[in-house]
Chain A
Amino acid sequence: MAEHTDTAERTKNRTAYWLIAPGAVWMTLFLAVPILMIVYVSFWTQTTFKIEPILTLASWKQFFASETYIGSLFTTIRLWLIVLAATFVLGYPTALFVGLFVKSKTISTVLLVICVIPFWTSFLIRVLAWRPMLGKEGAINILLQKAGLISAPIEALLFSELSVVIGMTQIYVVFMVGPIAFMLSRIDRNIIEAARDLGASFWRIFFKIILPLSLPGVIVGAIFVSVMVLGEFATTAALSGRKVNLLGNIIVTQVGSLKWALASVVGVILTVIMGLVIAGFLRVVDLKKEL
Chain B
Amino acid sequence: MAETISNISLAGVTKRYGDVTALDRVSLVLDKNEYVSLLGPSGSGKTTLLRVIAGFERPDAGTVTVFGRDVTHLAPHKRGIGFVFQNFALFPHLSVYDNVAFGLANADTPPSADAIRRRVTEIVRLVGLAGLEGRDIGQISGGQRQRVALARTLVTEPRLILLDEPLGALDANLRMRMRDELRHIRERLGVTFLHVTGSETEALAMGDRVVVLDRGAIAQFASPEAIMNSPANPNVARFLNRYNVLSGKMRGDTFATAYGDLAYGKRIESRDAAYGVRYDRIAVVEETAPSAGVEIPVTFVASEYLGSAVMYFFEAADGHILEVEHHLGKGRMPEYRSRGKYKLQWKSEDSIVFG
Assembly CA distance A191 to B91 (angstroms): 6
B36 at the interface (CB under 8 A from A): no
Are B77 and A196 in contact, CB atoms less than 8 angstroms apart? yes
**Interface range, A side:** 10 to 19
Which of A196, A197, A199 has the most B CB atoms < 10 Å from its CB? A197
B1 at the interface (CB under 8 A from A): no
A-contact 0/1 string along B39-79, CB 8 Å cutoff: 00000000000000011100000000000000000011100
Quick check: which of B82-90, B271-279, B297-305, B332-340 contacts chain A, the rest being far away? B82-90
Q: Which residue of B lies closest to A193 (CB)?
A: B56
Are A198 and B77 in contact, CB atoms less than 8 angstroms apart? yes
Are B91 and A195 in contact, CB atoms less than 8 angstroms apart? yes
A-contact 0/1 string along B98-109, CB 8 Å cutoff: 000011001110
Quick check: which of A19-27, A205-213, A233-241 contacts chain B, the rest being far away? A205-213
B188 at the interface (CB under 8 A from A): no
Please report whether the interface of chain A is mostly helix, strand, loop or mixed according to DSSP: helix
Assembly CA distance A197 to B77 (angstroms): 5
B156 at the interface (CB under 8 A from A): yes
A82 at the interface (CB under 8 A from B): no
- What's the minimum C-beta distance from A87 to chain B, rounded to whole angstroms? 24
Assembly CA distance A188 to B92 (angstroms): 10
Q: Which residues of chain B are within 8 angstroms of A190 by Cβ–Cβ distance?
A: 85, 87, 89
A201 at the interface (CB under 8 A from B): yes
A200 at the interface (CB under 8 A from B): yes
Assembly CA distance A173 to B131 (angstroms): 45
Are B76 and A195 in contact, CB atoms less than 8 angstroms apart? no
Assembly CA distance A194 to B93 (angstroms): 14
Which of A198, A200, A213 contacts B93 (CB under 8 A)? A213
Q: A197-B77, A197-B153, A200-B102 are in contact. Are A212 and B93 (CB under 8 A)?
A: yes
Q: Which residues of chain B are within 8 angstroms of A199 by Cβ–Cβ distance?
A: 77, 103, 106-108, 156
Are B108 and A198 in contact, CB atoms less than 8 angstroms apart? no
Q: Which residue of A lies closest to B89 (CB)?
A: A190
A10 at the interface (CB under 8 A from B): no
Are B152 and A198 in contact, CB atoms less than 8 angstroms apart? yes
A105 at the interface (CB under 8 A from B): no
- What's the minimum C-beta distance from A40 to chain B, rounded to whole angstroms? 45
Q: Which residues of chain A are within 8 angstroms of B106 by Cβ–Cβ distance?
A: 195, 198-201, 204, 208
Assembly CA distance A198 to B94 (angstroms): 15
Q: Which residues of chain B are within 8 angstroms of A195 by Cβ–Cβ distance?
A: 91, 102, 106
Assembly CA distance A208 to B99 (angstroms): 11
Q: A199-B156, A200-B102, A200-B106 are in contact. Are A194 and B85 (CB under 8 A)?
A: yes
**Considering the complex of A and B, which 4 residue pairs feature the smallest CB-CB distances, nearest first?**
A198-B103, A190-B89, A199-B77, A200-B106
Please give the residue numbers on chain A whose beta carbons come within 8 Å of chain B beta carbons, in ascending order: 188, 190-191, 193-201, 204, 208-209, 212-213
